[in-house]
Chain A
Amino acid sequence: MSFWEARFLWEEPMLAAVLASAVLGYLGLFVVLRRITFTSAALSQVSGLGVALAFLMGSFAGVTPHTRTPLWLDPSLWALVFACGGAAAMSLPARSRRATPESVVALAYVGASSLVLLVLASPRMAVEAHEIGDLLFGDAVVVRRQDLWNLGAAALLVATVHGLLFRSFLFASFDSDAARVSGVPVRWMDLLLHLSLAVEVAAATRALGALPVFSFLVLPAGAALLLSERLATVLLLSVVIAVSCAAGGYALSWLLSLPTGPVMVVLGVGVWGLAGLKRLWETRGGLRW
């Protein structure tokens, strides 16, 4: 069966990858510029902890991955709530807490990762552990219809919030003191930015996997910043690179029978490397070894 003939198999996962990567490529600009790349990695783990705990609670209530889940035990809902809680904590300014921002992010990352492993190692989860592992962090190959809806809703939410508040997010990120003096509610902007990141990460991690989500938040924006000095161009390039790596990575992995997520990431690394070479060429007037 050719790639095109098999499109009924990959249409929805491809759509999910394109939708998620476009939004992540956009959000990545703020992630890279604000130097909060590992916040997104920590949010993936924290949302994963929400999913794992939902399954654990479900096991006590007699729910399995194969049975209908009551709304209050819906793993997506738990992922969202956990991710938003983690994002709110990580958005607090440094003065409001005794620990440094980096240590709070590291704490969230290692704490959530370890707890997920402990939950999965529970005897109550032994049978479904592998399946739950896929549900926790996705595999980018198979996407459930519900995940697609969640991604669509997250994209709509991010587009609305950022469409309205983009300039305020930018001012608050670039020069927070001057923004506050000018009347921008900087703490609310920080919270909203982190929450929009949490919503997208929670939805995308289950559809694509933690690794591609992290890479789409970092690599396209990083490459775009190397390629242009104009804000509008950087934004456009970041989204285009993310979508190209998602779609191209999916197609390549199918054709070469390789794991999908890593192929997407490697493509992103390749684009970043080429952008870095171009930058080096321009700034040094050619390569000098």
Chain B
Amino acid sequence: MELLALENVTIGYQRGRPLLPPVSFSVSRGDLVGILGPNGSGKSTFLKTLLGLLPPLQGKLRYASGRKPRLGYVAQDPRFDFAYPLSVLEVVLMGRVAELGLLRRPRKEDIAIAEQELGAVGLQALARKPFRSLSGGERQRVLVARALTGAPDLLVLDEPTSSMDVAAEHALLSLATALTAARGTAVVFVTHEISAAAEIARTVVLLDSARSYFAAGPVEELLTSASMSALFGNPVEVRHENGRVFVWLSASRGGSGGP
């Protein structure tokens, strides 16, 4: 079931200066979409347009059911003001605002849901800790938990694993896969890890504002050595073997060798 669609949308911040060519792209329930592109390629801008935070310069953002689906969003490297005296639980409970409306206060069941989602990202033990006392990776996971407490139809993660260690990164990507399977949540995530996108995404979006390039399609079709090399301006080797994907920068290995 389709959740939302960009219809012939031009994205950017200034009229007359679009970042990408007109884009048509849709997200349905259960989709797992990885977005790849070099630094400054317009990935975050694309996400903001998809979320309705940035109005399209042209074209239309359409909601399939006629009203906005529930959205969860974790921004790339959010710069929080650590003067805020908030506990981890208080931050996670903010995600219940769509359920509670503007006026109602969180009740016991809201707290239980917040604690359950904190458990899903492996941080239930830190619920009463000050948010500012956490490490960058832990904060990122708390924000994922906050996004999940709103029971989103679409979860958008902008480089969610950038501050995480390998174990936390693996756990989060597994969680994303489980979410789509168990709850039907669509997950769209930006990453620089080509292999991570290849492992868990079913659809990939490649974009590069410098070349005014946008492409979306199945992983097997789009994640090729040629497309990755063109996207990143470096010789990248991609090999699909037995359902697994191996990626390496061939220049760094003297143009030969394997994963």
Contacts and interface: CB of A to CB of B under 8 A. Distances in A.
Given A177-B75, A178-B75, A184-B97, A168 B85 contact: no
A229 interface: yes
Given A32-B83, A174-B84, A175-B80, A180 B53 contact: yes
Interface string A215-242: 0000000000100111101100000000
B-side interface size class? 35 or more
A32 B84 CA distance: 10
Contacts of A32: 83
Given A171-B97, A231-B90, A164 B102 contact: yes
Interface string A165-192: 1011011001101111111100000000
B255 interface: no
A225 B83 contact: yes
B21 interface: no
A174 B78 CA distance: 10
B48 to A, nearest CB: 8
Given A177-B75, A178-B75, A181-B53, A171 B94 contact: yes
A73 interface: no
A77 interface: no
B85 A231 contact: yes
A191 B52 CA distance: 21
Nearest to A184: B97
B143 A178 contact: yes
Contacts of A184: 97, 102
A228 B85 contact: yes
Contacts of B146: 178
Given A181-B73, A182-B71, A231-B86, A174 B102 contact: no
A177 B143 CA distance: 12
A174 B80 contact: yes
B43 to A, nearest CB: 15
Contacts of B78: 175, 177-178
Contact of A179 (B74, B85, B94): B94
B26 interface: no
A151 B130 CA distance: 35
Q: Which of A174, A182, A234 has the most CB of B within 10 A?
A: A182
A178 B85 CA distance: 18
A32 B100 CA distance: 27
Given A175-B78, A178-B143, A180-B53, A33 B95 contact: no
Contacts of B90: 231
Contacts of B156: 181
Nearest to B100: A167
Closest 9 CB pairs of A and B: A181-B73, A171-B94, A229-B130, A183-B98, A234-B85, A181-B71, A168-B102, A229-B85, A164-B103
Interface of B: 48, 51-53, 68, 71-75, 78, 80-81, 83-87, 90-91, 94-95, 97-98, 100, 102-103, 105-106, 130, 132, 143, 146-147, 150, 156
10 contacts: A33-B81, A164-B103, A167-B106, A171-B97, A174-B94, A178-B94, A178-B147, A181-B52, A181-B71, A231-B86
